[in-house]
Amino acid sequence: MPEQGGAAQAIALCASGELIDGGRAVAFDVAYAGEHVRAFAIRYQGRVHAYLNRCTHVPMEMDWQEGHFFDDTGRWLLCATHGAAYQPETGQCASGPCRGALVRIELSEEGGRVRWHTAPLLQPPAF
């Protein structure tokens, strides 16, 4: 595990083809501020994005079935419990009982692979 505050590392997540625009997310585990948390990666309007799987209203997982975050139109990320809607490209609260934005995780996509990037409070989980 990288040291806290060390240089950011790119961690392999999935093949690019696993993330379909407005489709099912790829779930993964992270250590956020020392706590084990689920996260998810999506593709929206051709770009990949990732966030902690934690609603800003009440910190609980948002998907109604694993990997299902988009509403029926494929335009909004929804919290299945509270109905909060978030903008897929920013994680910003758009409507409903939410405060601020989802916690963003930096991603990169190159050579047909998607990777997530560590940060001072965001590290690979210790199992």
Q: What DSSP letter does each residue of 7-30 carry, written as one string?
A: ---EEEEEEGGG--BTSPPEEEEE
> 40 is in which domain, residue-wise?
10-123
CA end-to-end distance (rounded Å), the chain: 10
| Residue segments in the chain with a per-residue pLDDT below the cut of 70 | 1-6, 127
Q: Does any domain span residue 3?
A: no
Q: What total number of domains does the chain contain?
A: 1
What pLDDT shows up at residue 64? 82
Q: Give pLDDT tens digits for 52-76.
A: 999 998 888 999 888 999 999 999 9
pLDDT in the model for residue 127 = 64
Determine, yes or no, domain membership for 88. yes
In a domain, 65, yes or no: yes
Answer whether residue 74 is part of any domain: yes
44 falls within a domain: yes
Residue 5 lies in a domain: no
* pTM beyond cutoff 0.85: yes
**43 falls within a domain:** yes
Residue 1 domain-assigned (yes or no): no
Domain CATH for 71: 2.102.10.10
Beta pairing, strands 104-105 & 35-44:
unpaired
